[in-house]
Structures are given as structure tokens and as C-alpha cells.
């Protein structure tokens, strides 16, 4: 009987602790001490002396800090209907080792407590950790209103863009789950703009491709996708969307600027110049349009005109820094051609 218990204990210790128990930074005495604590803990547990067993397991895990031990303790507390203590150790285990099964166990504990407020907070965290988990998304779609999430993202956009990005993403997926394609596309589009702000062009492109696939005729999304490919220095990828923009009957300043930037990127500076001037004629308040005009003149071998429009661009941008969105290359050019340090510090992000 005792032999079988000892075999069981050692097996549990081995499974729970793995090779971590015998790592080099434990001395022989320390290894013996830790193993002894776990062995005693599991023996007490096997005799249903849960309180005493957990005490020994906790003592042993002070050295090892193994999430599997914390999870074992959490489950023991759950069996004894001690939900708060079970949550404490389950959350500790999850924070040390992100695991979907542990996450589901924690959800069950919150449901058992009927603690829907903390359940919602945790499911948001779990979905952030496992964005491809359909179950987490379905739970969120049942308990959260995507319209409210979208409005929350809007409110956070200037104060906390990182949080706004997460909420736009979440809103998009819940709208998609509810088959509201237009709102989903809009949410992904807004998330993409924030990714551009953080210079995460690849992530922005994926979101914009998703937005365009959901709302195929939206010229704003098509324009943003084409332009982001250009910011990411991939004009060959932008070409497909450039053709769609060129076929539009009405073209605003932003679309004309994208077309100009495309032709600039492939070396057709004369065509780029014509389109850039047309863009400025429709919107003379956008500093980036003047910056692009300056870049074109520089390539055409007209440095004085290039410098003149670069100065105009920076004068506008220092008052409207939000226009800078993702324009790392353009800003680098402006500072190089003018060589000034007296402008708004926000513009000197590359110095």
C-alpha cells in the first residue's frame, strides 16, 4: 500500500515538475528539500488531508515556482468548494504559463462564483492571448455590444492608442461574428490606421485587406491599402489597387496623393508632379501633400522648389502633427533637405 502511494507520489512530482526540479541551480541539499516537500504534500493529498497537503506543496513551490503545481493546488481547492482560493492559484498559474485549458478552468471558476464582471475582464485578456480561439470570441460576442466597444476605442484613440487598437480589433471580430460586414470592415480599417501610426505596416495591410474583402467598393479602404503598400515600399503590390483608384470618376485629394506617390515610387516623376499638384488644388491644408510635392521636385532636379515646399510642409505639420500618420520616410526626407532643428519637437522623431 505504502509502496504504491510512494510510486504515485514520485510519478506526480515527475509529471508536475518535469526536469525543472533537477536544474543545475539547485544544490543536492536543495533538490532533496524540494522533493521532500512535494512528496509529503502529495502523500497528504492522497489521504484526502487537503489542507496539510497544500501547505507542503506551497512550501515546495516557493523554490520551484512551477505553474503546474499552482494549477494542481487550484483544482484541489475547487474540489473543496473553496473558489476564491482556487481562483488565486489558477490565475497565478495562468500568468506564469498562458494556456487555453487553464483559461477555460478560470472561466468555469468565475461562472461558479457568478462573478460576471471579472469574468468579462478575464475573457478579454484570454482573447488577447489567444485571438484565434473561437470559443472566447463567441463568449465575448454574447456578453459585449460591439457598438459600445467601437465607441470606447474612439474615445481612447488620442489618449491611449494601444488600447484603442485592441478595442477596434475586438469590435471588428464581434461585428464579423454577428455578420455585420460593413461595421466589421470599418473597425478593421480604424485598427489599421493605428497600426500605421505605430509603423506596423504589415499588420495594417492584413487588416486593410480584410476591410476591403468585406466592403469591396469602399474607395477609402482601397486607397488606404494602396498607400500602405507604398509606405511599406511595395509598389508592385499596390498596383492592383492603384488601377481601381484610377478608374474612379471622382477622386479626392487623398486618392490623388496616393496615385502621385505610386508614380513617384516607380520613377515616373512627371506624372507624379501633375497628380500631386491636382491633389493640392483640392486640399491646400495638408502638409504631407506639400512634402510629397517637395520630394517630386527634388527627383526632378529642382532643389530650390523642393526646399520651398519642404518648408511649407513642416510649417503645416508642426500645427497639425496628426497628418504625419506613418510617414517615417517622408519626415526623414524633410529634415534632411531643410536641415532645421527649430520646428516642433514632435516632428524630430528621427533625430
Handedness of CA 129, 132, 136, 139 (dihedral sign): positive
Angstrom distance (rounded) from CA 60 to CA 57: 5
**pLDDT bucket at 132, cuts 50 / 70 / 90:** confident
**pLDDT bucket at 26, cuts 50 / 70 / 90:** low
> What's the pTM value of the predicted model, to 2 decimals?
0.72
pLDDT value of position 7: 45
Angstrom distance (rounded) from CA 292 to CA 277: 10
Return the SS3 of 178.
coil
Per-residue pLDDT at 10 exceeds 60: no
CA atoms within 13 A on the CB side of 200: 13
- 170's grid cell: 475586438
Q: Which of 153, 136, 233, 158 is nearest to 191 (CA)?
A: 153
**pLDDT bucket at 25, cuts 50 / 70 / 90:** low
Per-residue pLDDT at 161 exceeds 70: yes
- 47's grid cell: 489521504
Angstrom distance (rounded) from CA 228 to CA 225: 5
pLDDT value of position 267: 97
Indicate the DSSP class of residue 115.
Answer: -
Question: Concatenated DSSP letters for 261-295?
Answer: HHHHHTT-HHHHHHHHHHHHHH-TT-HHHHHHHHH
Angstrom distance (rounded) from CA 140 to CA 176: 12
Amino acid at each position: 500500500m505504502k509502496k504504491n502511494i510512494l510510486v504515485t507520489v514520485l510519478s506526480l512530482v515527475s509529471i508536475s515538475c518535469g526536469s525543472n526540479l533537477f536544474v543545475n541551480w539547485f544544490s543536492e541539499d536543495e533538490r532533496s528539500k524540494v522533493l521532500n516537500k512535494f512528496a509529503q504534500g502529495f502523500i497528504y493529498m492522497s489521504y484526502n488531508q487537503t489542507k496539510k497537503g497544500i501547505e507542503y506543496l506551497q512550501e515546495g513551490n516557493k523554490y520551484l515556482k512551477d505553474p503546474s503545481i499552482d494549477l494542481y493546488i487550484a483544482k484541489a481547492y475547487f474540489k473543496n468548494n473553496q473558489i476564491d482560493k482556487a481562483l488565486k492559484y489558477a490565475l497565478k498559474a495562468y500568468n506564469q504559463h498562458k494556456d487555453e485549458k487553464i483559461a477555460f478552468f478560470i472561466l468555469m471558476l468565475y461562472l461558479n462564483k457568478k462573478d460576471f464582471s471579472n469574468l468579462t475582464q478575464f475573457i478579454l485578456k484570454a482573447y488577447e492571448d489567444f485571438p484565434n480561439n473561437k470559443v472566447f470570441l463567441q463568449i465575448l460576442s454574447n456578453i459585449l455590444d460591439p457598438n459600445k466597444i467601437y465607441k470606447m476605442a474612439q474615445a481612447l484613440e488620442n489618449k491611449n492608442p494601444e488600447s484603442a487598437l485592441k478595442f477596434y480589433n475586438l469590435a471588428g471580430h464581434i461585428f464579423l461574428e454577428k455578420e455585420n460586414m460593413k461595421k466589421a470592415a470599418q473597425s478593421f480599417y480604424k485598427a489599421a490606421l493605428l497600426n500605421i501610426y505605430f509603423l506596423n505596416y504589415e499588420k495594417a495591410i492584413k487588416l486593410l485587406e480584410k476591410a476591403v474583402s468585406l466592403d469591396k467598393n469602399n474607395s477609402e479602404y482601397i486607397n488606404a491599402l494602396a498607400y500602405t503598400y507604398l509606405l511599406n515600399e511595395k509598389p508592385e503590390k499596390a498596383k492592383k489597387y492603384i488601377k481601381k483608384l484610377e478608374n474612379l470618376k471622382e477622386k479626392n485629394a487623398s486618392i490623388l496623393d496616393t496615385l502621385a506617390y505610386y508614380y513617384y515610387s516607380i520613377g515616373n516623376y512627371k506624372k507624379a508632379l501633375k497628380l500631386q499638384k491636382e491633389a493640392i488644388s483640392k486640399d491646400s491644408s495638408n502638409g504631407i501633400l506639400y512634402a510629397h510635392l517637395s520630394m517630386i521636385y527634388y527627383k526632378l532636379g529642382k532643389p530650390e522648389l523642393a526646399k520651398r515646399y519642404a518648408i511649407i510642409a513642416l510649417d503645416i505639420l508642426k500645427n497639425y502633427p496628426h497628418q504625419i500618420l506613418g510617414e517615417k520616410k517622408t519626415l526623414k526626407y524633410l529634415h534632411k533637405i531643410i536641415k532645421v532643428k527649430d520646428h516642433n519637437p514632435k516632428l524630430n522623431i528621427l533625430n
